[in-house]
Amino acid sequence: MSTDTTLKPTPKAPPRKSPINLRQYGLLAALVIIVALFQFLTNGRLLMPGNVNNLIQQNAYVLILAIGMVIVIIAGHIDLSVGSVVAMVGAVTAIAMNNWGLPWWAAVILGLLLGAVVGAWQGFWIAFVEIPAFIVTLAGMLLFRGLTLVLLTGGTISGLPAPFTAIGAGWLPPVFGEVAQRDSLTLLIGIVASAALVLQLIRTRKTLQRLDLPREPVSSFGIKAAGAVIGIMALAWLLAGYNGTPIILIILAVLILVYTFVLNRTVFGRHIYAMGGNLFAAEMSGVKTKWVNFLIFVNIGVLSGLAGVVSTARAGGAVASAGQNYELDAIAAVFIGGAAVQGGIGTIIGAVIGGLVMGVLNMGLSILSVDAAWQMAIKGLVLLLAVAFDIFNKRRSGGR
């Protein structure tokens, strides 16, 4: 009597699927709905090529500040001084070009360095003296606004060099000519960006598969990839029908890629999330929280300096009233983008989408000639509803 001892192969377990990120998709859906609503209410004027170009250039400062602000908020802090820093850096940059005779590129570097110094100043008091960020940055808001008034003595500085103003209000040159009366370079950038995004999504999915980690269902993955490609190419098509690719759009794209990598793929990024999630646990794990906090505020100082350069270039001059309420716009964009009030949660992409929501609201309401007072009221209501929705979702999922 013989016994068959052949081992049967163990059936392979089906791939584990991760739940769909409802927060991320809900935010995108909200942006699409808002765009569609204003496109209807404005009789198609919202998505005219010129308006899409203005949407990007006019809201660039919000997106730049939101990228820095989301890092601050993830770590459990707040920064109320960014608007005043924008004004001061803009004033110094304009003075450096008009009064000191510096070339435009040297003035830009000076503005970024000044932003870093301001960030280091505030970071010192927050990280090492342990004064709450709310108090330090509130003092900074008053201090740097006062210095701006001193520098400009209540006046304005205009007549800035054309290469400098192109940073905020210029476009890439049409080096490849036109196709169907559309800028070829802009269409090419859209194609390359779409291909790169799809390849990155596929690569990430294959990595998760190789490591046997949960991954998104194929259906939602395909919808996400197709939606991203359609969105990028639609944007490229619209911009190609105006003056081409705004220079500031390239700067924003680089910032989004770099800071997404920093938050998701570096030790520094993991430390920021750890501190926001549980500061005591992060300290016990060996995170040098003081230095991380210091670098967080140096970083937002640099980004505030960049926003100051961009807003001054866009306006074509420096004014003492520049940067008013910029901090509120940036904070609103971050919270609308899904960041948690308590810290520990937030993404660069979410903050950018939140900034676009604010930008579309501003532009749509302006096209409809809605009074400025009502515009402020509507934006405040949107912010309140966004945070309330976030808290409601946490309670439903059993969070705090």
Residue 43 is assigned to a structural domain of this protein? no
Is the same domain home to 186 and 199? Answer: yes
- Dump pLDDT digits (tens) for 330-351: 999 999 888 888 888 899 999 9
Is the same domain home to 225 and 272? Answer: no
Residue 218 is assigned to a structural domain of this protein? yes
Is the same domain home to 272 and 317? Answer: yes
Residue 261 is assigned to a structural domain of this protein? no
Contacts of 26 (CB under 8 A, 6+ apart): none
Buried b (16+ CB within 10 A) or exposed e, 313-343: bbbbbbbbebbeebbbbbbbbbbbbbbbeeb
User: How far apart are alpha carbons 292 and 128 in whole angstroms?
Assistant: 11
**Residue 237 predicted with pLDDT over 90:** yes
Is the same domain home to 318 and 187? Answer: no
Is the same domain home to 284 and 139? Answer: yes
Residue 43 has φ and ψ, to the nearest 5°, of: 55, 40
pLDDT recorded at residue 311: 95
Is the same domain home to 219 and 273? Answer: no
Residue 258 is assigned to a structural domain of this protein? no
Residue 252 is assigned to a structural domain of this protein? no
Q: Which of 127-141, 267-281, 302-316, 328-342 is least confident? A: 328-342
Is the same domain home to 230 and 275? Answer: no
Contacts of 293 (CB under 8 A, 6+ apart): 75, 77, 123, 126, 127, 275
Residue type, 244: G
- Look at the chain and report how many structural domains it folds into: 2
pLDDT band at 310; cut points 50, 70, 90: very high
- Dump pLDDT digits (tens) for 51-109: 999 999 999 999 999 999 999 999 999 999 999 999 999 999 999 999 999 999 999 99
Give the number of other CB atoms < 10 A from CB of residue 22: 11
Mind giving me the DSSP string for 32-85? HHHHHHHHHHTTT-TTSHHHHHHHHHHTHHHHHHHHHHHHHHHTT-----HHHH
pLDDT band at 1; cut points 50, 70, 90: very low
Q: How far is CA 124 from CA 87, 249, 309, in A?
A: 22, 33, 24
**Residue 321 predicted with pLDDT over 90:** no
Is the same domain home to 310 and 179? Answer: no
Q: Which of 17-26, 274-283, 312-321 is least confident? A: 17-26
Task: Output 67 or 180, whichever has higher pLDDT.
Answer: 67
For 123-148, what is the mean pLDDT?
A: 96
Q: What does the DSSP 8-state code read for residue 154?
A: T
Contacts of 161 (CB under 8 A, 6+ apart): 97, 104
Q: How far is CA 9 from CA 4, 13, 210, in A?
A: 14, 12, 20
Is the same domain home to 201 and 62? Answer: no
User: How far apart are alpha carbons 362 and 375 in whole angstroms?
Assistant: 7
Closest CA to 31 of 390, 301, 400, 386: 386
Residue type, 16: R
Residue 1 is assigned to a structural domain of this protein? no
Query: Range of 210's domain?
Result: 171-245
Mind giving me the DSSP string for 346-367? --HHHHHHHHHHHHHHHHHHHH
Q: Structure pTM?
A: 0.90
Residue percentage of the chain with pLDDT more than 70: 92
pLDDT recorded at residue 92: 96
